[in-house]
Amino acid sequence: MEYPIWQLTSLAGGFWIALIATVHVYVAHFAVGGGLFLVLAEMAAYRTNNIHLLEWTKKHSRFFLLLTMAFGGVSGVAIWFCIALIAPQATITLIHQFVFGWAAEWVCFLGEIVALIIYYYTWKNMDRRDHLRVGWLYFIFGWFSLFLINGIIGFMLTPGDWVQTKDFWDGFFNPTFWPSLVFRTFFSAACAGLFGFVTATRIQDVKTRMLAVRTCSVWTVLGVLAVMLSGWWYVASLPSAQYEMVAFKSNRVAHFMQYFWIFGTATMLGGLLLAIKAPRRISFTMALVVLLIGQGLFGSFEFVREAGRKPYLIWDTVYSTQILKAHVPVINQKGAIASAKWAPPELAGGITDANRTVAGEFLFQLQCAACHSIHGPMNEITKRTAQYDVDGMDAFLSGMGKINKYMPPFVGTAEERLVLAQYIAVDLNGKTPVVRATRPDQVEATPEPFNTETSEYVLTAWCSRGMGFFAQNNKWVLLPPQNTIRAQLVRRDPSPERVLEDVELTYSIEPDQESDALTGTLELNTEFERFEARVAIPPYAEGVYNPLPIVTITATDTDGTVLATTNMVAPTSDQMGCRNCHDGEWDKAGSGISSVTAENILAAHDRINSTTLSQSQDVVECTTCHDDPLQGVEGNNNKPNLSAAIHGVHAIFLAGREADRSCLQCHPVSTLRGQHEDLGFVCTDCHGEIEDLAISLLKAEQEAEVPGAGRLLAQLTPRTASNKEAINPRQPWINQPDCLTCHVGFTAPETDSAFNTWTEGADTLFAARRDDMDAMHCGACHGSPHAIYPATMRDNVMPLQYMDEAQPMGAQGNCTVCHIEPMDTPMHHDNMGLEN
């Protein structure tokens, strides 16, 4: 925020640092190990009186001087140039905190330069003993230079107590100082052998060439072995947050860790092959190949170390976006553009319709370009964001740095976040808005005949779920298509009675609905005195999306005589809005999850959780890992249950949004369609805002000591409650909002929210609860959850059959539906409104 931006597009800042730094540091390690190698080779030449070995050592010292001092010095300056432009905030922090350390390192570097120049130019005119002393002096200066730089580099990854104390020594002798020093010392030795192969190819004397190659092989092989062993110590010494990033969280780390082992093994094999199979036939090309493999080994290590530091350049202090962590709360309130001292002049008056593109481009440079290129080779942004429209991109930016913590959070206002989302989705990717799901046109259903004078029975039915939404495809299954039809048969009388014996209730789905099971039988549930059947009805009729299929329920006696018939809606829908953020089209006409969407979801799951589900050859069952009371799955106590996991993750990305941009982003739009919708209620009025809903589910999992629940919970801030402690934990599908929270004493509500007062168990849910007489179910008279009468023209088919009006059974004094005679006593529950 304090410095101008070096605007990089095709080649992002990370590309230049990766290119220059990995090469320079490879050479810099050679400068340390190669110094020791030179002195020992010279001593061996004197001891064996091998003039060929001595001549090679002299020539190698020239190669060493040119590479380490000339190239190494220039590439070192290039690093400072790049980091000063790309990462000025981190650079200035390092300079201010380690002035003494840098000064000491420059003294050592000066000592290296002087010692190496003297060493190279005095082969002929300096005493052997003094010449070796100069060589040893060079190595000592070189190693102490490594010692000093190691402390500063290690500080960036693991600052330790410095974060609190700001003490020089706490930062320098940080938690990884000693294992890193050992690791780099051994790698310096391996580098000496690798670079030694290159000049050993020019030795004319065969025996000396074989000796030199085998010596280089020993340095290489033993050095790499020591590097791998000390690497374990290095990783084990990482604090928990950095260790978790390296070991579990970053997919990039997993790839580069594989490369580390591959290149390490290849480097050792290359060194062995040169020593055993080809010491006589070694060529410059062969040596160069092994040297480049060593570069791959070191480069993969550097990428692992860099990835372990994400999302910071200096851990817990400076983000990779150059934003100081301590400044984030102020910037979020003030705005990123207003806080940036070098913002374009067009943005001086704030964001307007005329400058939104300029604002988006600047925000991209400010918060993305340090790591991401535009159509370039390094973390190309358009490929990584191609699936998102503006809403999806905005949601991704909301959750950035919270789930996958290798990315820093977006810093700024909600308006700035949306402007950046528009720049990426529209200006860079040309993405058009995803067309939101709509309700299909309804075909009015015809009620079954009913005569208040002559009909002997009343058959009433409802569903356990107001919308049996599901999601399944050829890649994974979240929820199978299912709903439960429940029914009660009543013999009409001044004192009606339920009929439970010597009757059979069957169902048949409207004939044009696509289903293999068009008919079935409802079984008697003796415990709750109702008939029920679990049905799986595809939400399509002749290829057209139809989430409200009509089901005909028929009651017959033992002789097969029809006693009563009624129609009802068995709502079912796979119009899950996953495509809104995960790309893809509808699988069928206006509904369903396509293969593209399904694959993107598995890829996102793999990226967030370090799984490999996208590689599975079988259909992934979500309940394999996650409990789900709705599906009767228990026992997966090492993972949050399905509802807690899904809502917990999505709440992080959808925080701060209203119901139409959170609940309806995912759930079918036909879910809420009854009287509550007509009165203006939305999902969040009962279930809570997305953050509060997720907190209630995650708190129950945290109390059950389920791993991972606390990590998600820590990322959420309640929106309506004062704190998380004020939100009551609950189990999904069991503890739901209680109707009587609002309708106290069955009266008109005095509150507009049922959130945070839950039913005690599954038998107290609306669809299972019975009246004060413990006879009739609430759903039998009021309809299915989310579709309380009056609802849609298709949902209303049953009350229209019995009362010629879309009202709860018996409303407005229509007790004659069952009682034949008018009633003046509210037997089922208080305040029934029996007056006509």
User: Using one digit for the tens of pLDDT, what is the confidence trace for 760-774?
Assistant: 999 999 999 999 999
Kindly state whether residues 208 and 297 are assigned to the same domain: yes
CATH number reported for the structural domain that contains residue 150 in this entry = 1.20.1630
Rounded CA separation 227/232 (Å): 9
Determine the average pLDDT of the residues in 163-174.
Answer: 96
Domain boundary residue, one of 267, 290, 317: 317
Peptide bond into 539 cis (omega under 30): no
Residue 653, domain member (yes or no): no
Asked whether residue 152 is domain-assigned, the answer is yes
Give the ranges where 423-544 is alpha helix by DSSP (H): none
Q: Is 214 part of any domain? A: yes
Task: Find where tokens 């330790």 sit.
Answer: 160
User: Same domain for 164 and 204?
Assistant: yes
User: What average pLDDT does this structure show over 114-130?
Assistant: 96
Query: Is residue 651 assigned to a domain?
Result: no
Q: Both 300 and 339 in a single domain?
A: no
pLDDT at 248: 67
For 6-38, the pLDDT digits (tens) are 888 888 777 888 889 889 999 999 999 999 999
Q: What's the rounded mean pLDDT across residues 432-450?
A: 89
Do 388 and 414 fall within a single domain?
A: yes
Q: What's the pLDDT score for residue 279?
A: 63
242 pLDDT above the threshold of 80: yes
Model pLDDT, residue 17: 83
Q: How confident is the model at residue 214 (pLDDT cuts 50, 70, 90)?
A: very high
DSSP H or E run through 477? strand 476-479
Greater confidence, 304 or 624? 624
Structure tokens at 563: 């006693």
| Residues 96, 78: Cα–Cα separation, whole Å | 20
Flag whether 221 is in a domain.
yes
More confident residue, 2 or 325: 325
Q: Which whole number is the average pLDDT over 623-650?
A: 94
608 confidence band (pLDDT: 50, 70, 90): confident
Q: Are residues 118 and 178 in the same domain?
A: yes
DSSP-based three-state secondary structure for 686: helix
Picking from 413, 428, 443, the residue at the C-terminal end of a domain is 428
Residue 9: the pLDDT is 82
Of the candidates 428, 422, 340, the one whose C-alpha atom is nearest the C-alpha of residue 382 is 428
Q: Note whether residue 741 is domain-resident.
A: no
State the pTM of this model. Answer: 0.86
Same domain, 89 and 225: yes
| Residues 663-691: tens digit of each pLDDT | 988 999 999 999 999 999 999 999 999 99
Nearest by Cα to 402 from 711, 721, 610: 711
Same domain, 307 and 338: no
Residue 201 lies in a domain: yes
Residue 88 has pLDDT above 60, yes or no: yes
Residue that is last in its domain, among 272, 297, 317: 317
| Mean pLDDT, range 140-147, rounded to an integer | 97
Query: What whole-number distance in Å separates Cα of residue 431 and Cα of residue 433?
Result: 7
Residue 393 shares a structural domain with residue 415? yes
* Whether residue 369 is found in the same domain as residue 408: yes
Over residues 199-228, the mean pLDDT reads 93
- pLDDT grade for 836, boundaries at 50, 70 and 90: very low
Span 495-516, pLDDT tens digits: 999 999 999 999 999 877 776 6
Q: What CATH number does residue 383 fall under?
A: 1.10.760
Mean pLDDT of the chain: 92
**Spatial contact of 322 and 421, defined as CB atoms under 8 Å apart:** no
For the chain, the domain total comes to 2
CA pair distance 328, 312, nearest whole angstrom: 13
- The answer on 363 and 310 residing in a single domain is no
What is the span of the domain harbouring residue 391? 323-428
Whether residue 182 lies inside any domain: the answer is: yes
Q: Is 761 exposed, middle or buried (0-12, 13-18, 19+ CB in 10 A)?
A: exposed
CB atoms within 10 A of CB 738: 18
Same domain for 293 and 197: yes
Average pLDDT over residues 151-170: 95
Element (H, E) at 106: helix 99-121
Q: What tokens were used for 385?
A: 């964001």
If asked whether residues 147 and 229 sit together in one domain, one would say yes
Q: What is the phi/psi pair of residue 682, to 5°?
A: -130, 175
When pLDDT is averaged across residues 69-89 and rounded to a whole number, the result is 92
| Average pLDDT value for residue range 205-234 | 93
Q: Which residues pair with 458 in a beta bridge?
A: 490
State how far Cα 567 lies from the chain centre: 45
Question: Minimal CA–CA distance to 545: which of 587, 585, 579, 580?
Answer: 587
